[in-house]
Chain A
Amino acid sequence: MSNSFIEVKNATATKLADIPLLSYDAFKNALIDTTKDDARHILSLFAKQNPISAETQFNLYAVIGDKAKHSLLVTSTGIGYEYPSLSNDLSEVSWFEREIAEQYGIVPQGHPWLKPIRFHRSWHIGHDAWNRNENDSIDPCVTDYFTMDGEETHEVAVGPVHAGVIEPGHFRFQCMGEDVYHLEISLGYQHRGVEKLLMNGPSLASQHILETTAGDTSIAHTLNYTSIIEALAIEKATVDSSFATLKAVLLELERIANHVGDLGALAGDVAYLPTMSYCGRIRGEYLNMTAELAGNRFGRNILLPFGSRLGMTVPQAEKILAWAKTVKADLDNALELLFEEPSALDRFENTGIVPTEAAKGIGLTGSAGRASGIANDARCDYPLPALGDCYAKHEAISNPTGDVHSRALIRYKELEASHKLIFELLEKFIANGKALEAAPKYLTTLPQLDTDSMVIAVTEAWRGELIHVGITDENGKFARYKIVDPSFRNWFGLAYALRNEQISNFPICNKSFNLSYCGTDL
């Protein structure tokens, strides 16, 4: 194993030349062998086009998280426009291989269900994994689906125009009466070409593109992006250690606001009104706390490489601390109502179960993964340098049952942990008595980046592990910027949760995951 991978720390630069380039078979065996250990799992698999001088057209990179060593393992192999699929041995890379096929027209031969994910044209004109012509129109979700035959079966198609005010997606249920045999989820309506827009960057627009990649995860995305720039910058600026506090507080406020919103929505879906109404209001309070620090409710335009656009004063910290403590009391009250209401618990328990084994096979991440007994949490598994030692005492909270109740319970417990952390960080900041000065040096300019290097940044966003990989070319520009939103790895988990489930339970299963459409569609 030691020769097959290079071990790197989170948000630390490596020269591309140092990454092992294996033969395809060695690459495949290394991935299979390494991930047999429960402490390791695949974070990302992506292709990058090679310069014309290289032996193969593409390099296939794999990133594995090793939480025992608190580090990331990286390896690569060279491939052409075809290679034998990995999905039959490593089911968790199935979507990654579909993504690669769509982006470059590389065919993973023997892939069990090779379909487009985002319905865009291949980045390599003339190469299409499905042999579509350049003139053929490519419409989102117009593709093959699983079907069932028989007198009693029926198909329910939901979307893309959703009844609520969320994002467009297409869901096909194969049903027998009220029972769902299979759910197939097809997305792509929100595809904007984010990864392509980031190539040849960074530019001043890059950060804004990433802030809106998944609008409810702005802070985590920005944190990853700034970490990558910081790691690649040739000249490193000195940074006030208090920035770690500001970043951690913002990250946790984002997590709290979303978890609160989701628990409220779950209550709403089972028609339990009190918690729904309270949580709707309380979520706003946390967004307003973010606005107090960032100037806007979703944490945009605040974090910058080596600093932030706005600082934090001691009175501000005191205000947020007192505010959060008051709101926390209301929140506890609202959540106790929900978690002590038998009729609501009856709806959550044993609904939409994803057992631990299945969750591993799917590659579930984040709170959904932890709810299925996978105790991974990037906050403690791969500490991000930008967050300093804020998470030194943090531990992953997991629960093995894998049902809607488990996913709700994990969020309930994480809310508790996040509050505790925010209180501690702010109290320490106040006790220190020193205001954090804004450091907007890189608001209007960007640092020069190292050449031919790779940085992987992993943050525990509120949905799970958010992975950004930045690879620079010989000019210090991004040759590839890979984003793996946690939703990308969890959508199949939702489809799995619906198997043999009542179709009327789809909404609460969906809310218990609450995945991002635009984060997946990029």
Chain B
Amino acid sequence: MNWFICFLISLIAAPLLVGVINKIKALFAGRHGPRLLQLYYDIFKLLKKDRILSSTSTCIMELCPIINLGAVIVATALMPMAGYESPLGFNGDIILFFYLFALGRIATIFAALDTGSAFEGMGASREAQFSAIVEIIVFTIITFLALISAGGFSLDLLQQISISSTGVGLAITPLLLIALAFLIVLLCENCRVPFDDPETHLELTMIHEAMILDNAGPDLAIIHYAAALKLWAMSGFLVVLVLPSVIVNGFVTICCYLVGIILVGIIVGVIESILARARFLKVPQLLLSAFTIALIAILLLSIFKY
């Protein structure tokens, strides 16, 4: 029951997180910034519009936004939330969790290539290149979680994340390192600064935005919503990773969980405010540093046998 409440909140509140990030960025820049609920208004506006499709595109372009949204919703449904296990969870679900995001991305890449535009081709190529490197980090993180999980080498999402309750105080340093590595993954996967700039109007520098230049109306609304939900889900993953999931009572835990997610949004907003975007040639270096951090966490874990 509590899990369902969290899941529903996730579906409804996901666009709010983007609003929080934008508000923080506006605060740093000394502006009022867009309303917290701006993305909701945008999505509703777009849903009311007609769908416009380029005459050169095929059914791929039409299907892909839905595939992407479906993949992200299913991934979210696999997540344990606030320490409650997902009814869909099974052993190995963590691999499905990350590959559902990959499926969503492949759908977006195909749709981008389908338009035949030079900009979208460039965006797709960049997205594919960077996500290939991200995959290494994700698997290092999974390895770490599997090593630390209470019930031996397990790939069950809840199992691994429940390490917080058993592992706090023991594996706190490697756990924080893993959280840092995951934060970098989160920034890259969700196209935030320093990897991508969601605010930019410059097609030549875009990654994610370049791939959806040809999308309009309801399709664009779906893409925006799916992106917000993905950000929410990954922030949630980060929260359950660090927060001790000792269930005091349902209400308090859910509140902690939500506050944690908002906090992740605030951290992302602060990072975006104080950092300039990295040049593309530096992106693989940045990602490899995340990989190294995750690797060090594993080393620490095995050396000190927490």
- A interface with B by C-beta (< 8 Å): 154-158, 163-164, 177-178, 267, 269-274, 276-278, 281, 341, 343-344, 346-347, 351, 502-507
Contacts and interface: CB of A to CB of B under 8 A. Distances in A.
B194 to A, nearest CB: 7
B249 interface: no
A344 B204 contact: no
B136 interface: no
B203 A163 contact: yes
A343 B118 contact: no
Contacts of B122: 156, 178, 503
Q: Which 5 A-B pairs have the closest CB atoms?
A: A277-B29, A344-B276, A271-B277, A272-B276, A271-B197
A163 to B, nearest CB: 5
B271 to A, nearest CB: 11
Given A267-B276, A271-B197, A346-B282, 17 more contacts: A154-B118, A154-B121, A156-B119, A156-B204, A163-B203, A269-B200, A271-B276, A272-B277, A273-B273, A274-B29, A277-B29, A277-B31, A341-B276, A344-B276, A346-B278, A346-B279, A507-B202
A477 to B, nearest CB: 46
Contact of B204 (A270, A341, A504): A504
A270 B25 CA distance: 15
B28 A273 contact: yes
Contact of A506 (B30, B204, B279): B204
A347 B275 CA distance: 11
Nearest to A342: B276
Contacts of A276: 29
Nearest to A506: B204
Contacts of B194: 271, 343
Interface in B277-298: 277-282
Contact of A504 (B201, B276, B280): B280
B199 interface: yes
Interface centre among B121, B200, B277, B279 (most CB of A within 10 A): B279
B40 to A, nearest CB: 23
Contacts of A154: 118, 121
B29 A158 contact: no
A353 to B, nearest CB: 14
Contacts of A504: 204-205, 279-280
Interface in B188-207: 193-194, 197, 199-205
B280 A343 contact: no
The listed residue with most A CB atoms (<10 A of its CB), out of B204, B272, B277, B282, is B204
B275 to A, nearest CB: 5
Given A276-B29, A343-B194, A271 B280 contact: no
A271 B118 contact: no
Contacts of B274: 274, 341
Interface residues of B, number: 32
Contacts of A277: 29-31
Greatest chain A CB density within 10 A among B31, B276, B282 is at B276
Given A154-B121, A271-B197, A273-B29, A507 B205 contact: yes
B201 A163 contact: yes
Nearest to A351: B279
Contacts of A163: 201-203
A332 to B, nearest CB: 16
B279 A505 contact: yes
Nearest to A337: B274
A267 B200 CA distance: 12
A178 B119 CA distance: 11
Interface centre among A272, A276, A505, A506 (most CB of B within 10 A): A272
Contacts of B30: 274, 277-278, 281
Contacts of B29: 273-274, 276-278
A164 B25 CA distance: 21
A12 B165 CA distance: 86
A52 B29 CA distance: 64
Contacts of A269: 200, 202, 205
A272 B202 CA distance: 14
Nearest to A156: B118
Contacts of A344: 276
B133 to A, nearest CB: 15
Contacts of A267: 276
Contacts of B199: 271, 273
A346 B278 CA distance: 8
A343 B205 contact: no
A505 B193 CA distance: 16
Nearest to B203: A163
Contacts of B118: 154-157
A502 B281 contact: yes
Contacts of B272: 271, 273
A219 B199 CA distance: 34
Interface string B84-126: 0000000000000000000000000000000000110110011
A273 B28 CA distance: 8
A60 to B, nearest CB: 39
A504 B280 CA distance: 8
Contacts of B282: 346
Contacts of B277: 270-272, 343, 347
